[in-house]
Each structure stands twice: as C-alpha cells, then as structure tokens.
Amino acid sequence: MTEEQLQIRDLARDFAEGELRPHAEEWDREAHFPREIIQKLGELGFLGMLLPEEYDGLGLDTSTYLMALEEIARGDASVAVAMSVHNSLPTQMILAHGSEEQKERWLKPMARGEMLGGFALSEADAGSDAAALAAQARKVDGGWILNGTKAWITNGGFGDVMVCMCRTDTPENRRGAKGIGAFIVPTNTEGYVVGKKEDKMGQRASETVGIAFQEMFVPDAQLLGDPSMGFIYALQGLDGGRLGIAALATGIAQSALEHSLRYADERRQFGTAIREFQGMQFKLADMATRIEAGRSLVQRAAQAKDAGEKVSRLSSMAKLFASEGAMYVTTQAVQVFGGYGYVKEYPVERLFRDAKVTEIYEGASEIQRTVIARELYR
Ligand code: CAA
Ligand code: FAD
C-alpha cells in the first residue's frame, strides 16, 4: 500500500470505529441510519472517491476506494451499501456517458455528498433478467414521459438522484437490451412516487423501496448518452458495482472474524479458552484464509480495472467469491459463539444476516457464474 492508501484506509477505519460500529446494532433494530452520516461521508470525500478533482471528487484509483469501502462495511454494512451504490453506479455512469453540462450539474453535488445517488434497474418481474424491464419512456417535445415501477431501489427515497433505466423503444418495435435509455431523475420530480419500504432480513438500516413513475416528465437534458444504450451503460456500471459489493462482503466477513477471534480467546469451556481446541483453530484459520483470498481477488480486479481492462469476468469472480466467503465466514462465526451467536445481544447474528444479501443483489451468485462462464468462452 502507498502512503496515501494507508492514510485513506485509516481515515475510513477511524470513521467506522468511531461513528458507525457503536450504532450498528441500534440502526439495524430501527431499520434506519441518520442522514447526517451521509453528510459526514461527503465531508470526508467518501462520496466522490472515484470522481476526478475537477468535479470535486478525490480522483482516487479503484484499489484505494475499495479498501475504504471495506473499512466502512466493517463498521456498518447498511451505510456501506449506500456508499457503494452511489460511488459505483450513478456517478460512474454519468462520468462515463454524461455531457459536460450533466457532469457539472450532477457530479459536483454528488461528489460533495449534497446529493446521494441511486440506480433503478430492477422491477418486480425483471430482476436477474434485467433486460426484460417494462418501465416505459415516451418521447415528447423537449423530453420524455416516464411511466412504470421499479423494485428494490437502494436509496430510492432517502437519496436525491436516481439513474433510472426505462424502455425507449415502442411496443410495436421492441429492441430488447438495445431499446432502453438511462435517465437522471431527482427524487423530488413530480410523478416520482416512493412506495413500500422493504422490511429486510439484513442490512436493515439501508433503505430499499419500490418506486413508481407516474406520467413523470424528464427533460432531454437528463437523458444519459444514447437513448438506446442505457442497459449497456448499466451493465458496464455493474462491472464496477460488483467490485464494491465484493469489498463490502469482505468488510462484513472481516468484522465477523475479529469478533470470533476475541470471543474464542475469552470464552472458556473444559477449563480453557475455546481457542485452544483444534476444532476452533481450524475454523478461525479457514475463515481468515477465505477473507484474504477474497480480498486479493478484489484487489486483482481493481488493478485490472485501473489499467483500463474490461473486468466483467474478474468483477463477477470477486463478487461471487467474496459474497459466498462472507456467508461462510459469518456462519462459522455464529458457530464459534455457540448459543450466544444465535441471539441479537452479540454482533455476529447481525453480520450473518447482513452477509446473505451480498449473494443476491447486483446479480445473484447464479448470474455471476453465468457471466464468468460466458466470458470464459469469449
Ligand atoms: N458491459 C458492456 N456490455 C455488456 C456487458 C458488460 N458487462 N454485459 C453484456 N453486455 C452487452 C452484450 O454484449 C450484449 O450486447 P450485444 O448484443 O451487442 O453483444 C447486451 O449487453 C446484452 O447482453 P446479454 O445478451 O448478455 O444480456 P442478457 O439479457 O442475456 O443478460 C445478464 C445478461 C448478465 C444476465 C444481465 O441481465 C445481468 O447482469 N442480470 C443481473 C441484474 C443485476 O445485476 N441487477 C443489479 C441491480 S442493482 C443492485 O442490485 C444494487 C444493489 O443491490 C445494492
Ligand atoms: P430472480 O431473478 O427472480 O431470481 C430468483 C432465483 O433464480 C435466484 O436464485 C437467481 O439466481 C435464480 N436465477 C434467475 N435466473 C437464472 C438463470 N438464468 N440461471 C440460474 N439461476 C437463475 N436493484 C436495483 O436496480 N437497484 C438497487 O438499488 C437494488 N438494491 C437492492 C437491495 C436489496 C436489499 C435487494 C434484496 C435487491 C436490490 N436490487 C436492486 C435488486 C437485485 O439486484 C435483485 O434482487 C437481483 O438482481 C435478483 O433479482 P430477483 O430478486 O428478481 O430474483
């Protein structure tokens, strides 16, 4: 690690230790974290990590960003997913495909944390098969009228601006994956309706909502790039987004390992600390090894991305391995804690619940395997 990377990792670690970890249990119980946390992340530069300095970002490389994100997730996975979506998806899509006016208008407040971003691709009937989405954009004078519904949107009401994928083809001339546009939509737009907030198993403090577009007018100035390429832009964004989720999963697993190491040292049975039993030592060793391997794969993919390589395969591998690793590690952590691992009084119960969704969102494990296999034959 360079001096700069160490500094940023330590800044994220201190913030997570001081401002996130002590509240994670309460935020999970209340299914909410305060908006001030987003403001503080913004003040530290954590919401513009990958954006160039000319747009008020920190202009950091992917490796450094992912190190910081892992630390934030070690403190609280719900805050980390809000940060991951914002940094990896809407901001990167606008940076890659936006006009100069769009970058000036949206990226600067997003980098400073004054606007929290989200990404609205999924629908109730189009999750893994995202290209089957049905929300429709109809061309009118000066812009587009959007109608339809989106499901599972992180930051969908809590956030300020969403990049929303909607069909721009017509019912008479469907063009599949090449008939979708990406629109920049502030959440205070007339016709943007926030629906049910999901009552989730884990990452409960992160907001996940359904949203509806009801005759919502979006001016041409808020269409991103080519109106038929929004789905492709979204998949390109997800190549980076999945690396964020991999780092986040690594942070959850690291936290579970740390709690397990401490507990195995303190807990005594048969007259000795349980860490003295080989059965426990093997578990701890396997947990640490899975985490280190996942982290290495994340960093390998990050370096490839920074070198300008296409990272669909590596990114899916990192997301798959780190999320399944997080599930493995948190399951073992509950086992190390015995009965105490099964109750809310101890943190590993929450970490176990928080880990599960990393195997589902931004493409379930089965989809990551599909992408990897396709890429192997390319
Ligand atoms: N980058 C650029 N282009 C890509 C691409 C990529 N990574 N992957 C595919 N494409 C292109 C293809 O080349 C193809 O174009 P051509 O026809 O010109 O070759 C076009 O996109 C369509 O690709 P496919 O035929 O492969 O599309 P598909 O319909 O078979 O689906 C899929 C592919 C990989 C399954 C995709 O639908 C997918 O990733 N599904 C999962 C959805 C997902 O991850 N959702 C995440 C929502 S966000 C979220 O979840 C956030 C959160 O929780 C916190
Ligand atoms: P389905 O697609 O119905 O899948 C059900 C099962 O079938 C899965 O196990 C899946 O892997 C399997 N399956 C489906 N197709 C195949 C196949 N071809 N081969 C093998 N198995 C297959 N979406 C957004 O757009 N923005 C967000 O911000 C966002 N945030 C989210 C936050 C949370 C907490 C959650 C739970 C979801 C979020 N999502 C978001 C949606 C998420 O990306 C989808 O849930 C995910 O892509 C899976 O879609 P689905 O739930 O419809 O499951």
Cα 321 from chain centroid (whole Å): 16
Strand pairing category for 161-167 and 117-120? parallel
pLDDT of residue 207: 97
Identify the residue whose C-alpha is closest to ligand 2 atom 39: 152
For residue 303 the two structure tokens come to 């370096």
Distance 232 CA to ligand 1 centre (A): 7
Second CATH level (architecture) for the domain 3-116:
Orthogonal Bundle (1.10)
Distance 179 CA to ligand 1 centre (A): 13
Does the C-beta of 320 come closer than 6 Å to ligand 2?
no
Q: What pTM value is reported for the model? A: 0.98
**E strand spans, 180-311:** 180-186, 192-197, 208-219, 223-224, 268-269, 272-273
Distance 128 CA to ligand 2 centre (A): 5
Across the chain, which has 378 residues, the per-10-residue mean pLDDT values are 94 98 98 96 97 97 98 98 98 98 98 97 98 98 98 97 98 96 98 97 98 98 98 98 98 98 98 98 98 98 97 98 98 98 98 98 98 96
Identify the residue whose C-alpha is closest to ligand 1 atom 22: 177
Compute the distance between CA of residue 90 and CA of residue 241 in angstroms, rounded to an integer: 10
Compute the distance between CA of residue 67 and CA of residue 77 in angstroms, rounded to an integer: 14
Does the C-beta of 156 come closer than 6 Å to ligand 2?
no
Buried b (16+ CB within 10 A) or exposed e, 171-195: eeeeeebebbbbbbbebebeebeee
**ipTM score assigned to the predicted complex:** 0.99
Nearest ligand to the CA of 235 is 1
- The ranges assigned to domains in the chain are 3-116, 119-230, 232-377
Does the C-beta of 245 come closer than 6 Å to ligand 2?
no
CATH number of 232-377: 1.20.140.10
Q: Which atom of ligand 1 is nearest to the CA of 231?
A: 21
Compute the distance between CA of residue 222 and CA of residue 276 in angstroms, rounded to an integer: 61
Second CATH level (architecture) for the domain 119-230:
Beta Barrel (2.40)
Question: Active-site positions?
Answer: 362
Long-range CB contacts (< 8 A, 24+ apart) of 373-377?
375/312, 375/313, 375/316, 376/313
Q: Which atom of ligand 2 is nearest to the CA of 118?
A: 28
pLDDT of residue 1: 85
Q: By three-state DSSP, how is residue 266 classified?
A: helix
Distance 28 CA to ligand 2 centre (A): 22
Q: Which atom of ligand 2 is nearest to the CA of 203?
A: 34
